[in-house]
Chain A
Amino acid sequence: MSRLRPLLSLLPVLAVFAFWEGFARAGILSDFLLPRFSVVLQRIWEDFRDGLLLEAIGQTFYRAVAGFGLAALLGVSVGVAMAGSRAARWFFEPVVSVGFPTPKIAFLPIFMLWLGLGDASKVAIAALACFFIITTNTYLGAVGVDRHFLWAARSLGASRTAVLREVILPAATPQVLTGFQIALPIALITTLVGEMIMGGGGLGGLLLDSQRFADSVGLFAGIVEIAVLGTVLIRGLALLRRLLLHWHAEARPVTS
């Protein structure tokens, strides 16, 4: 039974595809508005065979992950600094309180003006979109570290960097990872919008081409491909969380 479970959870997914195929075949909507799933699947296969799909996935993946990585580096640094230093908190708190609720995508045309229409502006807008989420979560995680751990480490003679590396960062990790898990889908959403507005390949670029040529099969193929990429990224990060937090209480099975 337990080995059958993953198969069982696939059933509804297959049901959705079957429903799509059946609904499209029933002809309530035209083939243009809703192409059949089998036709879309065939297009995905063709894209894959031509190498078009892997290239586009590679571009989108690179841009989203580069922007996310940049934001992770800066966001964790700023978040930890805010937790550790009054000056950093004074400076960044108002910046974050304004930046956090801002729809960062509204600055995309400004980034296009500054960085051109290539990878740089797409990576930068993805990084900006993720930065405040990661900063806030890191700050909350680092501020929430149990004082007793800090006192114990210091009284045992740990240096500032040792306290940071050995106590603050591990204790903040669950919250930092939560920030990552919110930010990564945002990076993907933003990258796709960037690609759709600027072109320059990637899955968003493919969608843009499909829309321009009124190629609805291509459009649906693109959406399925993007959904798969999104699922893989999100599952991957959840897996990373389990690996990194194997020592943490949340990884232990719940016993009552």
Chain B
Amino acid sequence: MASALRPVWLYTPLLLLALLWEGISRAGVVSAYALPPLTNVLAAWWSLLVDPSFWPHVFASLGRGAAGLAIALVVGVVLGVSLAWSRAVNMLLGPVVQMFYPLPKSALIPLTIIWFGIGDESKIFLIFLGCLLPIATATYNGVRGVDRNLLWSAASLGAGRWSLIRDVAFMGAVPDILAGLRTALAMTFVLLVSSELLISNEGLGFLIRSYGDGSQYPQMFACSMTVMAMGFAADQAFRRLAAWLLRWRG
């Protein structure tokens, strides 16, 4: 019984906050205009979820995020491994990576728009740029941290150059790559929503903006909470995936 109640007890604080929200809005402490009662927001959320025209926006956002992150993962891992493996690449590209690392990537939103317009390409390119360096740096650190003895043993057992890179250096760097990927996942959502809020013609950020501009605040809150739920779900899913991929570590 106690164990059945445990999850309830764990999430009681969130329930209390929800009740507080409903209470101060219903009691008129703040205007229902600025903070619609939670029940109104939930009702608006439900009507969005059953509205077929809502889902294309969700899929547009998800597709952009997934595409940008996937390209960044592939290019970032290749870049990170090359930076760690080859002195020439490191000398050539290392300082460039260091130079672009501190640039707040949201500054590139207007640039991606003049390059690619307001559609999918600009968002995918922005997310790619934002995620590339966290993944490349994490991969670089991971490969650099691989135990030299493992490399020497593999080489002495006759592993070729390609096999050393793929089976030893890359595999050894997987925990670091996953850590970098988690940072990149958070960055994906931030850049996705920012660029959709700023200028777009579909997606959840676009919906938040247009409901806000149209003073349909319960719907606006519902869309913000959709993004929150997606961020939470993506992080949970990622943690499961990482734990499964790293199960061999024990």
Q: How far is the CB of B219 from chain A (nearest CB, A)?
A: 11
CB-based contact A230/B221 at 8 Å: no
CA distance A147 to B92 in the complex (A): 47
Is B71 an interface residue when CB atoms closer than 8 A count as contact?
A: no
Q: Mark A84-112, 1 if CB is under 8 A from B, else 0.
A: 00000011111100101111111111101
Pick from B92, B96, B186, B224 the residue with the most CB of A within 10 Å.
Answer: B224
Is A243 an interface residue when CB atoms closer than 8 A count as contact?
A: no
Minimum CB distance partner of B115 in chain A: A33
Q: How far is the CB of B223 from chain A (nearest CB, A)?
A: 8
CA distance A145 to B95 in the complex (A): 37
Tell me the chain A residues, 4-55 only, with Cβ under 8 Å from chain B.
Answer: 9, 11-13, 16, 32-33
CB-based contact A227/B198 at 8 Å: no
Contact residues on A (Cβ < 8 Å of other chain), bracket: 35 or more
Is B189 an interface residue when CB atoms closer than 8 A count as contact?
A: yes
CB-based contact B99/A226 at 8 Å: no
CA distance A197 to B196 in the complex (A): 11
CA distance A94 to B209 in the complex (A): 28
CB-based contact A226/B103 at 8 Å: yes
CB-based contact A101/B235 at 8 Å: yes
Pick from B99, B110, B189, B204 the residue with the most CB of A within 10 Å.
Answer: B110
Number of residues from B at the complex interface, CB < 8 A: 52
Q: What chain B residues lie within 8 Å of A203 (beta carbons)?
A: 107
CB-based contact B111/A106 at 8 Å: no
Is B157 an interface residue when CB atoms closer than 8 A count as contact?
A: no
Minimum CB distance partner of A13 in chain B: B99
Is B138 an interface residue when CB atoms closer than 8 A count as contact?
A: no
Is A223 an interface residue when CB atoms closer than 8 A count as contact?
A: yes
CB-based contact A192/B104 at 8 Å: yes
Q: Which of A102, A189, A231, A235 contacts B232 (CB 8 A)?
A: A102
Q: What chain B residues lie within 8 Å of A230 (beta carbons)?
A: 102-104
Q: How far is the CB of B227 from chain A (nearest CB, A)?
A: 4
Q: How far is the CB of A68 from chain B (nearest CB, A)?
A: 13
Q: What chain B residues lie within 8 Å of A223 (beta carbons)?
A: 103, 107-108, 111
CA distance A152 to B86 in the complex (A): 50
CB-based contact B232/A101 at 8 Å: yes
Q: What chain B residues lie within 8 Å of A222 (beta carbons)?
A: 107, 110
CB-based contact A13/B95 at 8 Å: yes
Q: Interface with A: B10-18, B51-59, B75-83, B173-181, which one?
A: B10-18
CB-based contact B208/A196 at 8 Å: no
CA distance A45 to B96 in the complex (A): 23
CB-based contact A227/B220 at 8 Å: no
Known: A32-B114, A91-B13, A110-B221. A192 touches B107 (CB 8 A): yes
Q: How far is the CB of A206 from chain B (nearest CB, A)?
A: 10
Minimum CB distance partner of A220 in chain B: B111
Q: Mark B186-211, 1 if CB is under 8 A from A, else 0.
A: 10011011100110000011001100
Minimum CB distance partner of A34 in chain B: B115
Q: Which of B17, B34, B194 contacts A113 (CB 8 A)?
A: B34
Q: What chain A residues lie within 8 Å of B217 (beta carbons)?
A: 113
Instruction: With A98-B228, A189-B106 given, name 12 new contacts (CB 8 A).
Output: A12-B94, A101-B231, A101-B232, A102-B228, A110-B220, A114-B34, A190-B106, A192-B106, A196-B110, A204-B106, A214-B114, A235-B102
The list of the 9 closest CB pairs from A to B, nearest first, reads: A12-B95, A101-B235, A103-B189, A106-B227, A211-B110, A109-B212, A230-B102, A226-B107, A227-B103
Chain A residues within CB distance 8 Å of chain B: 9, 11-13, 16, 32-33, 90-95, 98, 100-110, 112-114, 185-186, 188-190, 192-193, 196-197, 203-204, 207-208, 210-211, 214, 216, 219-220, 222-223, 226-227, 230-231, 233-235
13 example contacts (A-B, Cβ-Cβ < 8 A) are as follows A9-B95, A33-B115, A90-B13, A95-B13, A100-B235, A104-B190, A106-B208, A189-B190, A192-B107, A193-B106, A219-B111, A222-B110, A231-B102
